[in-house]
Structure 1
Amino acid sequence: MSSDTYVEAQMLIRKPVEDVFEAFINPEITTNFWFTKSTGKLEEDKTITWEWEMYGVKSDVKIHQIVPNQLIKTEWGNPAVQVDYEFKKMEKGTLVVIKSYGFSQTGEDLLKVINDNTGGFTTVLDGCKAYLEHGINLRLIEDKFPQK
């Protein structure tokens, strides 16, 4: 598979771009729709750790670039991939586009990773929309793979 393979998920969130951007850099907000713990707010050239306590999973996240209210460029996962979060002001709110790329897998393994990334980031965006627009934590990440 070529190196330009990428996964993209997007969602219009009917809130101002400043609010949506803040939801992705501020773990006090993000923990309401994605991971359960973070070692800090996203800051350029820092590495923070996100944790999903219900699954016993952690991931170190390197923040490469932040353009306020426009772009967050990160690298995370095992094996690590690039994940960009783009924010575009629209008439009805903010379009968020999450793009991941730089996959090292090939063949069936690559297809599985692409499927997991697409589903995962779509779930994150769905949860973000519900939380920011309606104040509801749908517990989507927690319930995606119920333990029992």
Structure 2
Amino acid sequence: MSSDIYVQAQMLIRKPVEDVFEAFINPEITTKFWFTKSTGKLEKGKTITWEWEMYNVKSDVFVHEIIPNRLIKTEWGDPAVNADYEFTAMEKGTLVIIKSYGFSQTGEDLLKIINDNTGGFTTVLDGCKAYLEHGIKLNLIEDKFPAK
């Protein structure tokens, strides 16, 4: 296992930490910049299903831990990896750091998943920033792999 390898994406979002944290646990907000459907709000010890309808893709997300306005620890994907969402209140807003780790792939497969995770989480943070700061739904996830 490539357990010592992790991917990190980060972004300053110019909103209070409470608002940014809520955007990641509440699907009524998250669906504006990430997945299109969810079976519920993230809660510790629960498994939630996220769906990207435009790609006909679903993923079960297990929530390991939630520390309000500070941390969300999840495990999701196939094969499953860990994804931690860290929130730090700053003078100008909230720094969000997403770390993904626990990869089982090796070689070229590991490089591909690292690239996919880095690009994917960066896109999520970009969309979140646009939505929370400016009320703009950029459709970044939908447009990342447009149908031909």
TM superposition shift of 1:4 = 1.0
Q: Could you tell me how far 1:62 is from its partner in structure 2? A: 0.1
Could you say which residue in structure 2 is the equivalent of 1:12? 12
CA RMSD of aligned residues (A): 0.8
Structure 2 residue aligned with 1:53: 53
Partner of 1:38: 38
The number of residue pairs the alignment matches comes to: 148
Q: Sequence identity of aligned pairs in percent?
A: 86
> Residues of 1 paired with 2:147 and 2:57: CA distance?
13
Matching residue of 2:129: 129
Unpaired stretches in structure 1, ≥5 consecutive residues: none
Counterpart secondary structure, 1:3: strand
TM-score, normalization by structure 1: 0.99
TM-score (norm 2): 0.99
Tell whether the 8 Å contact from 2:2 to 2:103 is kept in structure 1 after alignment. Answer: no
Instruction: Give the CA deviation at 1:38.
Output: 0.0
Partner of residue 142, structure 1 = 142
* Higher strand residue share: 2
Write the distance in 2 (CA, Å) between the matches of 1:96 and 1:40. Answer: 22
SS at match of 2:69: coil
Q: Which amino acid aligns with 2:36?
A: T
Q: CA deviation at 1:124?
A: 0.1
Q: What per-residue deviation string (whole Å, max 9, x for no partner) do you get for residues 11-49 of structure 1?
A: 000000000000000000000000000000000000000
Aligned residue identity for 1:64: H
Q: Shift in Å at residue 2 of structure 1?
A: 4.5
Work out the CA distance in 2 between the residues paired with 1:34 and 1:2. 27
SS in 2 for 1:147: coil
Name the structure 2 match of 1:95: 95
CA distance in 1, matches of 2:82, 2:3: 12
AA partner of residue 134 (structure 1): H
The CA deviation string for residues 109-136 of structure 1, in whole angstroms up to 9 with x for no partner, is 0000000000000000000000000000
Partner of 2:112: 112
Whether the aligned pair in 1 keeps the contact of 2:70 and 2:87 (CA below 8 Å) is yes
Q: Which runs of 5+ in 2 are unaligned?
A: none
Misfit runs of 4+, over 6 Å? none
